Homo-oligomer: A and B are copies of this chain.
Amino acid sequence: MYSYHYPHPAVTVDCAVFGLDEARPASSGEDARRDDDRHGTTPGNLTVLLIQRDLEPYAGAWALPGGFVKIDEDLEAAALRELGEETGVRDLYLEQLGAFGAPDRDPRERVITVAYLAIVNLFDHPVAAATDARNAGWFGVDDLPALAFDHERIVAAGLEQLRATVRDEPIVFEFLPQEFTLRQVQSLYEAILGESLDKRNFRKKLHATSLIVPLDEVEMDVAHRAAQLHRFDRERYEALRAEGYRWNA
């Protein structure tokens, strides 16, 4: 059988993990994250998860979580495994961003990386807590440190894909807890799109979908009128989508 004898590049996966770093909503009051897990961000910001490298090259620099793909491992499985190992995250949204393969992107040898966009719900899964061993942290997307390799380009590609996807698919709910306020949804759209939206028009559009169902609960521990909590009817969404419906907000 024919086989290929020329040198092979190394292949890695890297994950641009986005989360919403926000004052914890009162509906689940315990386990507030420690302040030193957050870097240069104000509540309500879109953040990226970075780890500090402990090996050369770029030892000490911040980088995206990721690592080498095993020889018999599926790419997505590798991304999930590396994320689990380095950050303890499970149960997250994962979507491929693409391959990055400039010949000089890694000084050791030729390394082609397959980048993934991940979204993690920081309300239900306090991620940084599981990463104390390897220095890890959430950084506001507008306030990133210098990154190792070409990871700045990967983050930029992730943001671009987020912006492109957010209007056509209900991915914002991947960031939010099961029960959320409409204000949270709007703030998230604003953070991702980088523009501010009209409150009444935005809510009109959300309500028109009939997919955001109000609950008999309101948020707690806020110093003002409490907002009603809602949930996203994913089941109904999947059913509608099967019939050709497309999310649009």
Contact = CB atoms under 8 A, between A and B. Distances in A.
A107 B1 CA distance: 10
A147 interface: no
A85 to B, nearest CB: 16
A71 interface: yes
Given A1-B56, A10-B8, A114 B101 contact: yes
The interface centre, meaning the residue of A6, A10, A99 with most chain B CB atoms within 10 A of its CB, is A99
A81 interface: no
A108 B1 contact: yes
Contact of A2 (B55, B70, B96, B114): B55
A4 B11 CA distance: 10
Interface string A100-119: 01110001111010100000
Contacts of A110: 71-72
A69 interface: yes
Given A11-B112, A98-B98, A103 B2 contact: no
A45 to B, nearest CB: 24
B6 A68 contact: yes
A68 B4 contact: yes
Contacts of A114: 99, 101, 112
A7 interface: yes
B101 A3 contact: no
A73 interface: yes
A74 interface: yes
Contacts of A103: 72-74
